Every structure is written in C-alpha cells, then in structure tokens.
Amino acid sequence: MQLVKNRYQLGGVDLLEVANQFGTPLYVYDAETIKRQYNKLNEAFEGVDLKIKYACKALNNINIIKYLKSLGSGLDTVSIQEVELGLKAGYKPDEILFTPNCVDFNEIINAVNYGVAINIDNISILEQFGHDFGNKVECCIRINPHIMAGGNSHISVGHIDSKFGISIYQLPLIDRIVKNNKIKVTGLHMHTGSDILDADVFLRGADLLFDAASHFPDLKYLDFGSGFKVAYKEGDITTDIHRIGKKITSNFNKFCKNYGRKLELWFEPGKFLVSEAGVFLVKVNVVKQTLSTVFAGVNSGQNHLLRPKLYDAYHNITNISNTKSTKRIYSVVGYICETDTLGYDRKLSEIKEGDILAIQNAGAYGYTMSSNYNSRPRPAEVFIINNEAKLIRNRETSDDLLRHQIDVI
C-alpha cells in the first residue's frame, strides 16, 4: 500500500473507493506486485535454465493463475482439482507439476491421464507407479532431506518427522524399486519449508540432491521447492534472494558440468509471489472497551483469514479511514464465536465504528484457507490490473451455503 495525499492506494487505486464499490470483507490483489516478485526471482537466478512453477495453493483464483501464466510461469499443484484448474487456465500439461501427498492412487492415475508431470513422495506409491507405468511415464521423486528449516514446526516440512517426501536415507530402496520396475526418473524434488532466511539451508539441501542425482542417469531437472521469506512487519528480516540466487546458480552449474549435461532448475514459489500483493479490507463493527483492552471488532475473522489463529502469524493492520489522528492501542478481533484475534495490541490511528481496516500481506493462504464457519459466507475478491479494480470472485450469499444441502425432513 502507498499513502498518497492521506489516502491509501494499492496498484494506483484508492482502497477506500474499492471498499465502497465492492463492499467488505474484501480481498484485493495487485498485479504489479506479483510481476515485481516474479521478475525478482528471474533476475536472482540468471545464468541457469530457470523454471518457476507457481504454487497455486497459496492463491488459486483462476485470474491470478492466468496472470502468472502470462508472465511465463508454470504451475505447481497438490490436488487433482488444482491440476484441472490449471488446465482450464490454459496451461499445457507439461507446464504443470503434480506433487500430491497421501492421496488415493486413482488421483495419480488421473494426473497421468492428463499428461502432467508426476512428483512421488512415498515408497508404496512409487512401487504402484512402477507396476502400472514402468518406463512408459516419466516421474519426479520428492526427497526428504531431514533438514529443519523455516519459521516454525508448522511450516517446516523437510525434517525427520515430516509426512512429506521419501527419506534421503532410503535411496538404496528407491534404487531397487526404480531399477526393478524400469521407472524413468527425470526429476528430483526437495522442499524444506517456508520462511527460510539462510542460503545455507538451500545449499545443504542442494548438496544432498546433487549426491542423489548420481543414482538417476535420465534427469531433466532439479526442483528446490521454495520457502523464501517475505516481510510481514516493518523491520522484518527477509530472504536475500539475490545472495541465494548467486550461490545456488554457481553450485548448480558446477553440478551440471559434473553430471555431463545442463539440467533445468525449478522453484515453486507461492507466498513469495502473491503474499505482498494482497490486502484484506474489513469494516469495524464495534469498538468495545473492557477493563484491560480496547477491542476493534470487525466484519470478518478466522473464517476468512486463518493464518493468525493457525500459525500465530503477524499481519500489519492499518486504519485507512483515519490516517492522521492520535494512535491508540487496539486488539483487532473477528465476529466468529471463537477467540479469533487478528492482531493483538496494535498501535493504530484512532478507530471509530464504520472505519475500514486494511490487513496486509494477505495474498497468500488467505482466501484459499477460508471457510463457512458460523455459516458466514466467504468474501469477494478484486484484482487491480492496469490501474483498474476488477471483480474476480463474487461474494457468497446464504443461498450459496444451502446450494449443496439436501432437505430430507
């Protein structure tokens, strides 16, 4: 957001006007921010054959997916429904990577029939895949490197107790399964988690993948997942993407030389591309003072933005209706019958009932994790592109909540 003449804007559009036009609660996304982040990644890894696969679980509106395709991105998917969404958005099958976890094997068969790249993270599934497809269908193998990374245990997925990936120590078993079933492994994958700051985490994982690659003569790519940290508050430490890019590019090129040919380097950013592009606009319903706290109760809650409750995540909050007055301490809470605090003890410009608050960094895992808890409809979504705010998802209604219910009484 930018403050221009005491009015907050996103993508050159006045946010209060957007709230008035489309109502609240409302997710708003800025195309230029997404483009900036996408270009930053490409620049950081200049010097390798880079393929970016947008992790659409972060924000799966088809307009966002189409926009990233227009920038040159591929797609990372984790369900057959996301695969189908990507195909509807115009991606070619070979531009889509399917990385499921704990799914029924029929879902993998469906993905094979669609022609997308298959990423396997389970020994039993690898065996079934080999029995059914042998060397007729290429696949990627997801390795668990046993590296604890990321901000906390909720978002670290490469440690020893993670359900994701096949242990690096099971390479001998993978070898036997691959050779006995003549499986053609063309990719190796690793993802250690989110909010990674240290380039050494990627480099340690890279060394493990480079070592594992010697077991697979037909590789076309190595996929390092993602996990680059973005800022959630002023002064936040973020991933030095250019430093990581320089180190990994150098090591990757050395590996390719030793391997005997150039491979593609893949990343699957989600949050890095869309988090900072999103703002969640909510209206203050009540200002409630207790003996110890002043609450600003808004027309949303954990049903629409789960991250603060689920991950103890911090999101900056700004009163965009009042940019000048004295700042006071508030706890911003929702209208859900839970302790759904969106922000504790925040110093905000004085809040009145009816004011609009902007919750920042809401582009990733906001709408996609929303629910109808307490029978509340989900909000609308707006995309700001070419300095114009466009509605890209209608607000749900009570009729939508009943649409798939069957009355048998």
Compute the mean pLDDT over every residue in the chain, rounded to the nearest whole number. Answer: 92
153 has pLDDT over 50: no
Where do we find the tokens 């991250």? 307
What sign results for the dihedral spanned by CA atoms 291, 297, 303, 307? negative
Task: Please report the beta strands in 49-201, taking only residues with DSSP state E, as ranges in sequence order.
Answer: 49-55, 74-77, 96-98, 117-120, 139-144, 166-167, 185-189
pLDDT of residue 335: 97
Residue 144 or residue 382, greater confidence: 382
3-state SS, residue 369: helix
293 has pLDDT over 80: yes
- Residue 189 token pair: 């994958």
At 230, the pLDDT band (50, 70, 90 cuts) reads confident
Rounded average pLDDT over 357-362: 97
Distance CA 355, CA 361 (A): 20
Task: Dump pLDDT digits (tens) for 58-101.
Answer: 999 999 999 999 999 999 999 999 999 999 999 999 999 999 99
Residue 329's H or E segment, with its range, is strand 327-333
At 196, the pLDDT band (50, 70, 90 cuts) reads low
Rounded average pLDDT over 228-244: 79
Q: Which residues contact 142 (CB under 8 A, 6 or more apart)?
A: 99, 119, 120, 121, 164, 165, 166, 189, 190, 191
Residue 192 or residue 290, greater confidence: 290
Share of the chain above pLDDT 70, in %: 94
Distance CA 111, CA 127 (A): 17
Please say whether the beta carbons of 44 and 242 come within 8 A: yes
Nearest by Cα to 211 from 245, 267, 255:
255
Domains and CATH numbers, the chain: 2-29+275-402 (2.40.37.10), 60-269 (3.20.20.10)
At 199, the pLDDT band (50, 70, 90 cuts) reads low
Q: What is the largest CA-CA distance in the chain?
A: 72
243 has pLDDT over 90: no
Rounded average pLDDT over 199-215: 82
Distance CA 311, CA 304 (A): 14
Active-site position among 56, 102, 140, 337:
337
User: Is there a catalytic annotation at residue 256?
Assistant: no
Distance CA 379, CA 396 (A): 6
pLDDT of residue 201: 72
